Each structure stands twice: as structure tokens, then as C-alpha cells.
Structure 1
Amino acid sequence: MFPSFAADLAERVRARGPIVVGLVGAGQMGTDLIVQIALMHGLRIGAVAVRTRPQNAVEAALSAGHARGDLVEASSATAVDRAIEAGRIAITTDLDALAGAGRIEVVIDATGHPESGAQVALAAIRHGKHMVMLNVEADITIGRSLKAQADKAGVIYTGAAGDEPAAAVELVAFARALGLTVVAAGKGKNNALNFDAVPEDYEAEARARDMNPRMLVEFVDGTKTMVEMVALANATGLTPDRPGMHGPRATKDELADVFRLQGEGGVLSRKGVVDYTIGKGVAPGVFCVVEPTHPRVLERLTDLHVGKGPLFTLHRPYHLTSLETPLSAARAVLYGRADMQPLDHPVAETGAVAKRDLAPGTVLGRIGERDYRGWSMVWADARKARAVPIGLAEKARVTRPVKKGELLNHENCAVDETLTIVKLRRALDQADARFLPADAA
């Protein structure tokens, strides 16, 4: 965080007016963003794009305190610009109308849908807009491709502040800047863990929490945790210690005792991993277990009551999800800075594991439904197993019988080659062959 961030936003308003944000998606996260940005000094929503239900965007804007007369339907980039110039918010079903509007400076994807995220990012980059990807499923599948294209276009591609991966990246960067060895980094899991969760069993809880049951199940069945920790891996170079990670029931005070090498009484086979815990006191925060490399530093950390050593836990006790995301949009515009980006080489993958027996001919549904759940893997292992990245699983057709618990791969499933995200991933896979051993390429 820049010390003068609030002052810089105020200066931006004085000199040029607030940063104009284009938002795609008006579900739970999109609604949060519309409300949050309305409360902030230095940013404003210029347009909201939704594909099927514009009324969702209208209701979100009204809940944020905007008047009905402030909302204008727009079907072209010119119409979006006119609305923004008049101090209004454009509502559109045309993605290119939003991305192509000259007044829009940065685009946030809040769809949570891998294929939609790919299309949104390409449109934003094509029109020279900075891109904030609040869509971790898309990022872990094709983020490196999108970052490379953004670099060529001279714009910023970034993950979203407030999501656990970006919050954990902050801790990892802090530890590394201090010269501490990162042993493990990860998150506390917020929801109960049930690998067999299906939407129909969580409808009542979803209603009580004002959530879509499918979205709730994506959290409960572990998929979201696998996806988020793979995003953290791809941004830091840390890797899952084993497929699916360990996920111990470690409390905040036990993290440094559990996430250490097996020979030292812990669960790890190596240092430098991503993982999660279902123990109390960690969620909704993130953690980083570190090891000092000098006895003087160990002495000081102990004296400061960070822990008893020889490993110590850095803990951020919260993440504010979409409420923090506008900060990433602002930093991209003001400073040309990304809060989180994938490295330029593959690190980890989220594959898909069958949640039930799947017969040939089955067309797979969306993440969080009944067909599959996420499973974190080291990239080279996933490549060797020909695992289907979870971002490509939707609309894939099962070609061979798949047993519950079996990994979906390119031999038992055929992905939908017409999807934008599949085409981008195919090109990325071809380029990534250079990272494989000669006998595996």
C-alpha cells in the first residue's frame, strides 16, 4: 500500500475527476462492488455489463443509493460515453460497448465464470483497458496468457485485492523482503468442508446467506480453496506439497508446529508450499509460516511474541473480498501496478475430480454443481496425468466411464473446443511444452 494512496486519489479527483470503472457482472460480488465504489472517494462506476438480466444491475445500483434517473441503458460505446459524461451509469448487455467506451479506464470482471472471464479480459485488453480479474477460476486457467497480452498492449492485468490469494501474496512478499524463508502460505477455510456437497443440499443455507446454492457449494466442496491456493502458487512459485494439499485442523497458534517438515514433527515433505487449514482462529484470514535464517532474527521474533520458534506464523486475520477490489483498480490506473500476477512459467494446476460416477455422453455442468470438484496439483504432475483444468470442465463431454473420485483428463473427457478459454489454454499448453523434461514433452 502506498502511504499517500488516499491523498493520491483525492488529487486524481481534483485534477481529472474520479477513476471510471467498467464492471462486468452484477451478482453477489458485482453488487458489493457497486455499493463499495459508491462509498469511495476517487472512483466511480461508469458502466455495468450483464448478459441476461440488466435488472440485476439496476437493483444493485439502486441499493447503492443511485437514483433510477441516474441509470441509462446503452447499446454502444458511444452511448456508454454519453452516459458517463452526463454523470450517469450506463447499463448494457454488450461487453464491447463497455470495454470500447473511451471514458472507461479499468474493467473489473465479477462474473465468476471461466469462459466469461476470458471474454471480458480479451475485450478489455483489446480496447486498451486495465483489467482486474475478480475471477480466480479464469486466472488459474489462462492468467499467464492474459498477462502476456496485457503487457503487449501496455495495460495492467491484475488479480483482485481482498481475495485470499492476493492477501496471502502480500504476506509472502513481506516475508521475502525481510529475508525470511517461506515454509508455507495459505488460508483458513471459511466454510465447512464436504467433498460430496451438491446444491440441492444447501439451498436453505444459501437463501439464509443471500447466495446462489451453486456458489455456496463451490466453497463447501473445497473447489474454491483449491482454486485460490493454486492462484497463490502461480503468483509466488510455492507449490502444493501433495495433490489436494494437507488441509489439517490446525489452529492459528498451531500453524507453525503443523506446517513444518515431517522430520521436525510436521506434515510437510518440503518447504515452500501452499496449503489451507480447517482449524479455528485462522479463517477468514490468511497465513504465512516463516523461518528466520539468522539467530539474531529468531531471538527478536521470539522477544516480540510472534511465536516460540524456530518457525513463526504471520497472520492477516481478515480478507474483505470484493470490498477491497476497487483498490486494485485504482492502483492499476494511478501507479501502473498489479496487486497479483501469475509468474511467466507454470507452477500449479487445479484439476477436476468426479463427484459421482459419470457415464460416457454426460455433458459436464458448472463448477459447484453435481459433476466434479477442484483438486490442486503441481503443474508437471497435472500435465503428466493429462488433467483437465477445472476452468475447461464446463461443457466437456465424458468419453469413457469415470468413477467417483477419479481425475478428469483428456482421455476420459473431451473439452468444448469452441470456447474462448479452451482456445487460449490450448495455445498456452503448446507453449508450455518447453518447461517439461525432454522425455516428457
Structure 2
Amino acid sequence: MNLSRMLAERTAEGRPVRVGLIGAGKFGSMILAQAKCIPGYHIVGIADLDPVKARGSLARVGWSEDRYAATSFGDAMDNGTTFLTQDAGALCEAEGIECIIEATGHPIAGLRHAMAAIDAGKHVVMVNVEADVLCGALLADRARQKGVVYSMAYGDQPAAICELVDWVHACGFELMAAGKGMNFAPAYRYSTPDTVWGYFGWSEEEVAAGDFNPKMYNSFTDGTKAAIEMAAVANATGLDCPSDGLAFPPSGLQDLAEVFKPVSAGGRLEKAGIVDIAASREPDGRMVLNNIQYGMFVTFKAPDEYTRACFQQYGLLTDKSGWYGSMWRPFHLIGLETSVSVLSAVLRGEATGSSTRYRADAVATSKGSFQAGEFFDGEGGYKVWAKAIPATQSVQKNALPIGLAHHVKLKRAIEKDQVVSFDDVEIVEDLDIVQMREDQKALLDG
């Protein structure tokens, strides 16, 4: 609770925190919107493959043109301005920048950017959860060896969940589960970019009037994004994924402690200590009362009768027994909060959540029956959804991670809901990432 004070002290000394941003899309735009409001927080450079789009993002969030008119990184640092470039590698290597924010959303590019930044001695805030769940444990290990911080992005749900998990442990409660809310019902699993807007209730006119990416929205709808984020949380906290993937039990705020406790105690969990999703819809599609669609939660158990009584005395929401309680955060503000991660890394040397273990995986799972010769189209597409499973299972199945399931060709037929194996597909590109996956197996936890 002293990051603003620490930043003010550095600013008074004439030493701003210098940051590089890769990706000026929606998340990046939100980062930039707040950066202009934080004295001493200097975005030295922005790398984006589309400079016109990057300039449009800056204008949209209120940056004046003179603020991003720098002609080089050195010019930007000398004058407190920002340099726009298409060269992410040059941004990662730029002398004087202390932290790189990776916000592209592209898993392969994200891994390469993070490796370059770490090798250049820079902290990394990984907005790109798709990249993190693919090889985050390896990146965290590499960062540790280089003496820099590899961190999740505060404001995104995984980092907020990690904060709640840390709170449970720091208070001495017994952690039962951690997760987030989500608009999900079983029928959503097989959504495609063609059908996704119906689940949001938007008309064709509303969609046409906005800047909506159907694959991105479909990734949220079919449960893929949930699998990616919950596997990342497991890798950061040591929690487990359910053995058969996320169950998405419907639950409102008042029922969290009743639902997210073990079956042996009358709940829905196969055991204590797992991640899952509180679905905001019943299986028939009806909205759950007091759902936490935009929130994050933890459930936990009192260690003794005295603490159980305190739960009741101070109004904690508990199950009927009073032994199990829940704590939650109702909202998250995405990139508007990411400066917390940057300042924590630079000023404290601490991550706001970090995937230091290889404990869980988000693996490609078929949306239908497909024949040899057909191509997968990756996250949010027509062919696959991601299933969050323990890493031990992923290794045993030689499972294909969702981050490598884009434009890969099937070598043999597969069935609906089948976890796809590396043996099922031809991998001819991104072989460096495949090798990173192999190297990560040495960090297998559990």
C-alpha cells in the first residue's frame, strides 16, 4: 500500500519509472489511458505492427500528438515523450527501459517478446495470458535466473485471484477454491464465430456498429478463456485444475461457500484446493441470482470453533454450517490497473502473481468430429475449445496446448470432445515454442 509514495520519491529524484508497451489494442489502450495520469510513470516506447492503429488508440484515450512525437527511444527519454515503433525487439533492447508490458494477445509472439525482454534484463508484465499458460513457468524460471520479475497483469482476473489466494494464506485460513464468475451455460461450449453474438443478445446492427472481434468474444463464450486463465492461476498458486476440466457450477454470491467446498462437505468440488468458475447462468440459460459475472472469489474454511464464531459475528457470507466462508472482489478494471504490476516489479521487485510452476495446462479439445487433412483455427474458432487439466495429465496425453492449435493440420481423424494430441497434428512452424514446451516439462509440479 505504498507504491504511490515510492513512485513519488523516485519522481522527486528525477528518476521516472520507464516502461515499454507492446500492443496498443483494447488492453493497451486502457494502460495508456491511465499512464498519462500518473506522474513519474513514463511510457518510453510503444511497439505495434500497425502504427496507424496505435496512433488512433492514443488519440482515443486523450493523448496529444506532441506526447508521442519522439523520433527515437533516446529522444523519448530525454524529453519525457513516447516513441512509436513497429519493432518490438528494439523496444525490448532499448537502454533505460525497466519494464516491458506484453499486451498483444498473440501467444507465440508474446513468448518471443518476453524472452527477448528478460534476456535484455527487463522486468516483464505479461498481459498475454495465452502466452503465459503456454510457457509461463519457463519464463518465470528464466526471469529468476536473470534477476528480473516476471508478473501477471494486475487488473486482469488471474492477478486479482492470486491476490485473494495470498490473502487467504496470509490470514491462516484453509483454502478450498479460487476462481471467477463467467457468463456460461453448457450449450455455449460449441459456440462459433458465426453464432457467438446470439449469446450476448446483440443484434446484427449493434455488432456492425461496434469494433467487435468474433473470435475473441467466442473465446470467452465457449469457455476457452476461462480454461486459459484458471490454468494460469493454478500455475501461479499451486492449486489444481479439476481432473476432468472446469465444471462451471452455477453460483450466486450467497452460495459461493456452499458450492465451492468439497463434495465430502456437501459442496461441488472433487477435493479441496482447486480452481473453477462460478457460472452466471443455470444449465437452462436462466440468469443466476446475485451472480458474480465480472468478479473473482476464494472460498476457505475456519481452522477452529473460535474463528468460525468470528465469521458469524462479522457478517461473513458462509455456508449453512458456518465453517466455510467466501471473499470476493466484484469487479476488475483490466488495463486501468496494470500500473500496479509495473510499479510493484520496478519498485519492490515483486510480481502480482507469477506462473512459477507447471501445474496445469489449457489443451485443445475438439468441438466436433474432423477428418485427416482438416486444419484447426485456434482459440475462439470453429474447431477447438480449451480444457483446463492438470499438467501431469497433459504430459501423459502429449496434449496439444491451445496456443499451438492455430493453423495446424490433422494427421488423423478425431472425435468430438477429444483432447487433441501432438501425435494427431503436423507441426511445421513455431518449432522453437514446441522446444520450450519440452523444456518446461522439467518444471512439472505435482
TM-score surpassing 0.5? yes
- Select 2:111's aligned residue among 118, 123, 140: 118
- Select 1:65's aligned residue among 57, 62, 65: 62
Please report how far the alpha carbon of residue 176 of structure 1 lies from its aligned counterpart in structure 2 after TM superposition.
Answer: 0.9
* 1:56 and 2:57 aligned: no
Please report how far the alpha carbon of residue 420 of structure 1 lies from its aligned counterpart in structure 2 after TM superposition.
Answer: 3.6
**Aligned twin of 2:311:** 301
- Select 1:177's aligned residue among 142, 156, 170: 170
Separation in structure 2 between the aligned mates of residue 333 and residue 209 of structure 1, nearest angstrom: 37
Please report how far the alpha carbon of residue 361 of structure 1 lies from its aligned counterpart in structure 2 after TM superposition.
Answer: 2.3
Contact 1:118 1:420 in 2 (8 A): no
- Select 2:195's aligned residue among 196, 201, 221: 201
Structure 1 residues 217-366: aligned runs within 5 Å: 217-279=218-280, 280-308=290-318, 309-344=322-357, 346-366=358-378
In structure 2, list runs of 5 or more residues that go unmatched: 198-203, 281-289
**1:284-332 CA deviation, whole Å, 9 max, x = no partner?**
1111110011110110011111034111011111111111111101111
- Select 2:389's aligned residue among 377, 380, 388: 377
Contact 1:119 1:420 in 2 (8 A): no
Bigger Cα displacement from structure 2, 18-27 vs 417-426? 417-426
Separation in structure 1 between the aligned mates of residue 26 and residue 371 of structure 2, nearest angstrom: 34
Please report how far the alpha carbon of residue 195 of structure 1 lies from its aligned counterpart in structure 2 after TM superposition.
Answer: 1.1
- Select 2:4's aligned residue among 3, 6, 19: 6
Separation in structure 1 between the aligned mates of residue 20 and residue 11 of structure 2, nearest angstrom: 17
Bigger Cα displacement from structure 2, 357-366 vs 182-191? 357-366
Please state whether the residue corresponding to 2:217 is helix, strand or coil: helix
Contact 2:137 2:235 in 1 (8 A): no
**1:5-51 CA deviation, whole Å, 9 max, x = no partner?**
22211112111343121110111111111112112233121111112
**Aligned twin of 1:100:** 93
**Aligned twin of 2:212:** 211
Please report how far the alpha carbon of residue 158 of structure 1 lies from its aligned counterpart in structure 2 after TM superposition.
Answer: 0.6
Distance 1:110 1:207, change over 3 A: farther
Please state whether the residue corresponding to 2:376 is helix, strand or coil: coil
Please report how far the alpha carbon of residue 262 of structure 1 lies from its aligned counterpart in structure 2 after TM superposition.
Answer: 1.8
Structure 1 residues 98-177: aligned runs within 5 Å: 98-177=91-170
**Aligned twin of 1:415:** 427
**Aligned twin of 2:409:** 397
**Aligned twin of 2:283:** none
* Aligned amino acid, residue 201 of structure 1: T
Please report how far the alpha carbon of residue 135 of structure 1 lies from its aligned counterpart in structure 2 after TM superposition.
Answer: 0.8
Contact 1:115 1:420 in 2 (8 A): no
**1:68-115 CA deviation, whole Å, 9 max, x = no partner?**
2333476xxxx2222332332111111122111113211001111110
Contact 2:137 2:443 in 1 (8 A): no
Q: TM-score, normalised by structure 2?
A: 0.90
**Aligned twin of 1:15:** 13
Please report how far the alpha carbon of residue 206 of structure 1 lies from its aligned counterpart in structure 2 after TM superposition.
Answer: 5.2
Please report how far the alpha carbon of residue 209 of structure 1 lies from its aligned counterpart in structure 2 after TM superposition.
Answer: 5.9
Please state whether the residue corresponding to 2:118 is helix, strand or coil: helix
* Aligned amino acid, residue 133 of structure 2: I
Separation in structure 2 between the aligned mates of residue 379 and residue 156 of structure 1, nearest angstrom: 24
Distance 1:416 1:165, change over 3 A: farther
Separation in structure 2 between the aligned mates of residue 16 and residue 37 of structure 1, nearest angstrom: 17
Separation in structure 2 between the aligned mates of residue 13 and residue 287 of structure 1, nearest angstrom: 36
Q: TM-score, normalised by structure 1?
A: 0.91
Separation in structure 2 between the aligned mates of residue 241 and residue 69 of structure 1, nearest angstrom: 51
Bigger Cα displacement from structure 2, 258-267 vs 205-214? 205-214
* Aligned amino acid, residue 337 of structure 1: E
Separation in structure 2 between the aligned mates of residue 388 and residue 328 of structure 1, nearest angstrom: 30
* Aligned amino acid, residue 195 of structure 2: D
Separation in structure 1 between the aligned mates of residue 129 and residue 159 of structure 2, nearest angstrom: 10
Please state whether the residue corresponding to 1:396 is helix, strand or coil: strand
* Aligned amino acid, residue 263 of structure 1: S
* Aligned amino acid, residue 332 of structure 2: H
**Aligned twin of 2:40:** 42
Aligned residues: 426
Separation in structure 1 between the aligned mates of residue 291 and residue 246 of structure 2, nearest angstrom: 20
* Aligned amino acid, residue 112 of structure 1: G
Please state whether the residue corresponding to 1:246 is helix, strand or coil: coil
Please state whether the residue corresponding to 1:184 is helix, strand or coil: strand
Please state whether the residue corresponding to 1:403 is helix, strand or coil: coil
**Aligned twin of 2:201:** none
Please report how far the alpha carbon of residue 418 of structure 1 lies from its aligned counterpart in structure 2 after TM superposition.
Answer: 3.2
Separation in structure 2 between the aligned mates of residue 325 and residue 147 of structure 1, nearest angstrom: 19
* Aligned amino acid, residue 250 of structure 1: S
**Aligned twin of 1:439:** none
Separation in structure 2 between the aligned mates of residue 54 and residue 265 of structure 1, nearest angstrom: 55
Separation in structure 2 between the aligned mates of residue 297 and residue 350 of structure 1, nearest angstrom: 37
Distance 1:403 1:206, change over 3 A: farther
Please report how far the alpha carbon of residue 208 of structure 1 lies from its aligned counterpart in structure 2 after TM superposition.
Answer: 5.9
Separation in structure 2 between the aligned mates of residue 313 and residue 207 of structure 1, nearest angstrom: 41
Please report how far the alpha carbon of residue 160 of structure 1 lies from its aligned counterpart in structure 2 after TM superposition.
Answer: 0.7
Separation in structure 1 between the aligned mates of residue 392 and residue 278 of structure 2, nearest angstrom: 25
**Aligned twin of 2:399:** 387
Separation in structure 2 between the aligned mates of residue 191 and residue 108 of structure 1, nearest angstrom: 30
What is the identity percentage for the equivalent residue pairs of Structure 1 and Structure 2? 33
